[in-house]
Amino acid sequence: MNQRLSLKLAGFTVIALSVGLAHASERGGTSYPMGAETYMGGVLPPPGVYGQLFVSHYEADTFRGNDGQKLPMDFDLRVDCVAPRLIWVTEQKVLGGDLALHIIVPMVDLKVSVNGQEQSNSGLGDILFAPALGYHYSEKLHAIFAVDTIAPTGKYNRNDLANPGRNYWVFQPLVALSYVDPEGLNVDLKTMYDFNRKNEATDYLSGQALHMDYAVGWGLGNGWVVGVGGYALWQTTDDRQNGQTVEDNKARSLAIGPAIKYASNKGWFLTAKWQDETQVRNRPDGNAYWLKLTIPF
């Protein structure tokens, strides 16, 4: 196995959400689970307390290199995650927007197999929290602005093949936009930019990344929205280890698949989707299933 491939795979690290998926930068992963958000991702509800539950399953049996080629190894990855989210929308106004606070606490179960070596691991992942500002520009157009912080709370050992946590902080400014029409077009776009801190255990600094979760659908007028959703990822800066640039390791990916939403007349709603990854570079190539339930307390 060449040196660069060894760098990607040695101690392969996976994280969940916020929701447990394997992606980008150091050893093929990022702290944010790509494609987690779908319909209504940019709509802040009225003041009150809300609960959300993310449930996801991700699987991949291919790891692609810098040219998109399948790397020559026996590789298999499976990640399951359950991640409760608590949202408090306050009565406070800041800069004309509604102030909210949220926290996501992921519980991860993962299994990694590389060339006959296999490990399973489970436990608390890396917790995400942030203040946010929500705006309602019209009855249909909404936006959320925030800077998420992802804390290294998950279990991590540099010698393990699979880790629930990534062992570094991430600061992630974001803007989420939603256009909502119960009887027409629905468009959601959540755009994020990752500033990663160094993993002190490996002296590895994962590069910065721009990524977007999206969904486009049509409201049927009976609570249902049907359409497609997924994500896009571009790593914008090189990784660095021991002060040296890691060449030809920038991650890239695009995912798309069917996405649906059902909104009840009692205030709760459920979204579900399946997304398949393509145009993959320097990361696992797989597919994911997502459920997200939102309930007012």
pLDDT band at 19; cut points 50, 70, 90: very low
Q: How far is residue 142's CA from residue 132's CA, in Å, rounded to a whole number? A: 13
Radius of gyration of the chain (CA): 19
> What integer pLDDT is reported at residue 13 of this predicted model?
42
Residue in 23, 32, 19, 13 with CA at minimum distance from that of residue 107: 19
CATH of the domain at 52: 2.40.160.40
Could you give the percent of the chain with pLDDT greater than 70? 90
- How many domains does the chain divide into? 1
CA atoms within 13 A on the CB side of 258: 3
Could you give the percent of the chain with pLDDT greater than 90? 87
pLDDT band at 31; cut points 50, 70, 90: confident
Residue in 118, 74, 62 with CA at minimum distance from that of residue 282: 62
Question: Residue 272: which domain range?
Answer: 3-296
Res. 28: pLDDT tops 90: no
The tokens 């339930």 sit on which residue? 293
Q: How far is residue 267's CA from residue 59's CA, in Å, rounded to a whole number? A: 33
Maximum alpha-carbon separation in the chain: 58
pLDDT band at 29; cut points 50, 70, 90: low
- Per residue in 76-87, is it b (16+ CB within 10 Å) or e — as a string? bbbbbbbbebeb
3-state secondary structure of 104: strand
Q: What is the pTM of this model?
A: 0.90
